[in-house]
Structure 1
Amino acid sequence: MEFLEHHFFYFILMIFSLAYPLAQSFERRINYYSKWSRLLPSIIVMMILFIPWDIWFTDLSVWQFNSDYICGIKFFLLPLEEWLFFIIIPFACVFIHEVLNYFFNKQLDSGSYIKIAYSLACILAFFSVIYSDRLYTLICFSLTSLSLFILAIHKPNWIGTFFRTYFVSLIPFLIINGFLTGSFNETPIVSYSSSQIIGLRILNIPIEDSMYNLLMLLIVISIYERKSTLK
């Protein structure tokens, strides 16, 4: 399809990701727009970590962006669309978080999710050591493992709702990242150096990306929920 072979393809994906959450932000039950003042600093803090990381890995060719699918505007090696990714995807995921909290039980059994956090942290720590020669695997798994250990130790009352949001967000994650990595289109927008990842993929998405997404979401929701309790 011509839509999939376009210089604005990545940009269109981001607009598509933003459209529904933005349109529903003013829906009176969720009232998402009134929470943007908490969301903005949460996203900024996350970007302070993720943008330099992204620039570093782009410079090292851990991943590369296909010039056929981006508009061509770049800031510090990163396409404009990549900057938008770090704003729009957290915006959409926190919208999912708010919707789930509104329509479903906001108080979930923390004990089970603390065990999940500890277990996943241990697994990631193990694989970050085993694959310490793969830069993306090492950095992504070790940072996510550390963050999950901290999460489990602090036992916030929102730990259950965080994991619920993460698991639900995996559905749009597979769709959007599927397009980014060439799962549904002929060539990927983002390609990865095979020497810097484990090689295990979901569709064409490196398994590391799922933990990258978890870490990004965990940072944003941690700050977002903390600001909620301080309000």
Structure 2
Amino acid sequence: MSLYLWIILGTITFPFLLSFDRKIHFYTHWKTIFPAILLVGLFFLLWDNYFTDHGVWGFNGKYVQGIYLLRLPLEEILFFLVVPYACVFVYEVIKGYFPDLKLDLLGRAFAFLMVLSGLLLTICYLRNWYTLTACALSVLLIIGIYFRARATWFNHFALAFIICLIPFLIVNGILTGFTTPEPVVWYSEDHIVGIRIGTIPLEDIFYNLDMLLPVVFIHELLSQKRKKG
């Protein structure tokens, strides 16, 4: 089994097994989570394939199974299913076990930090495809969901995202070559800022936010409709 597939398996194992926890009953959210993941995942697969096709990033054949859909290895496709599932699990655990946490200040600080840094990077690196798209989309999502729609769940999302940065740094560190002679996923230096957290491009943080925030948004929207129905 490929290294990338082992990473995918390790990422999903505990969230899936704990989905049947008696307090959270995460499996009862599957009817809203899976549609959200699939909708957002389709967009990201198209984005991912386009950037792979144009050399913005790519995949090392040594660390994948060799099964491809268009230009994307099987493991990369599974990434867009597994990572959102694991992170939404963390989000629901926080809501379930700590529903009364006072997180207004954290949510506000997180929103302002991501918007301001995203705007700065977007303006300064307009020619970098990855920087431009990842950062600009983060800015638009937070402005729309937090500042305009005033989503009441955003504060819990912010905490969940920060907590998920720990496994994110581990998983993405392995994928970008921290523990291997060559990276599993490589990036063109022409399309990133060049600032890395270990071996992880700074843009990956914004990219993960772009992927996770819409999933939670759709999940919450569908959940509210189910309750009303």
TM band (smaller chain): over 0.9
- What's the counterpart of residue 221 of structure 1? 216
**How many residue pairs align between the two structures?**
225
C-alpha contact 1:118 1:149 (8 A) present in aligned 2: no
Between 1:102-111 and 1:60-69, the stretch displaced more is: 102-111
TM-score normalised according to structure 2 size:
0.94
Between 1:120-129 and 1:161-170, the stretch displaced more is: 120-129
Q: Percent identity?
A: 36
State the secondary structure of the residue aligned to 2:122. helix
What is the identity, as a one-letter code, of the residue corresponding to 1:125? L
- What's the counterpart of residue 29 of structure 1? 23
* CA–CA distance in structure 1, aligned partners of residues 102 and 42 of structure 2: 31
* CA–CA distance in structure 1, aligned partners of residues 19 and 111 of structure 2: 30
State the secondary structure of the residue aligned to 1:148. helix
- What's the counterpart of residue 149 of structure 1? 143
The reply to whether residue 200 of structure 1 matches residue 176 of structure 2 is no
Between 1:163-172 and 1:150-159, the stretch displaced more is: 150-159
Between 1:24-33 and 1:105-114, the stretch displaced more is: 105-114
Q: Which runs of 5+ in 2 are unaligned?
A: none
In the TM superposition, 1:82-121 aligns within 5 A as 82-106=76-100, 108-110=102-104, 113-121=107-115
Q: Which runs of 5+ in 1 are unaligned?
A: 1-6
Change (3 A) 1:112 1:29: closer
State the secondary structure of the residue aligned to 2:19. coil
* CA–CA distance in structure 2, aligned partners of residues 80 and 166 of structure 1: 25
State the secondary structure of the residue aligned to 2:127. coil
C-alpha contact 2:103 2:156 (8 A) present in aligned 1: no
- What's the counterpart of residue 64 of structure 1? 58
What is the identity, as a one-letter code, of the residue corresponding to 1:187? E
* CA–CA distance in structure 2, aligned partners of residues 123 and 98 of structure 1: 27
Instruction: Flag as ranges the 4+ runs of structure 1 deviating above 6 A.
Output: none
C-alpha contact 1:183 1:203 (8 A) present in aligned 2: yes
Task: Identify the match of residue 159 of structure 1 among 154, 157, 181.
Answer: 154
* CA–CA distance in structure 1, aligned partners of residues 218 and 203 of structure 2: 23
Change (3 A) 1:13 1:112: closer
Change (3 A) 1:168 1:111: closer
Shift of 1:142: 0.7
What is the identity, as a one-letter code, of the residue corresponding to 1:80? L
Q: What CA deviation, in whole Å up to 9, does each residue of 1:146-201 have, x standing for no partner? A: 11111222111101001001000000100110100011222110010011100000
What is the identity, as a one-letter code, of the residue corresponding to 1:127? L
Task: Identify the match of residue 10 of structure 1 among 4, 9, 32.
Answer: 4
Structural RMSD (CA): 1.4
Shift of 1:225: 1.3
* CA–CA distance in structure 1, aligned partners of residues 20 and 113 of structure 2: 38
Shift of 1:221: 0.5
- What's the counterpart of residue 183 of structure 2? 188
C-alpha contact 1:113 1:163 (8 A) present in aligned 2: yes
- What's the counterpart of residue 132 of structure 2? 138
TM-score normalised according to structure 1 size:
0.93
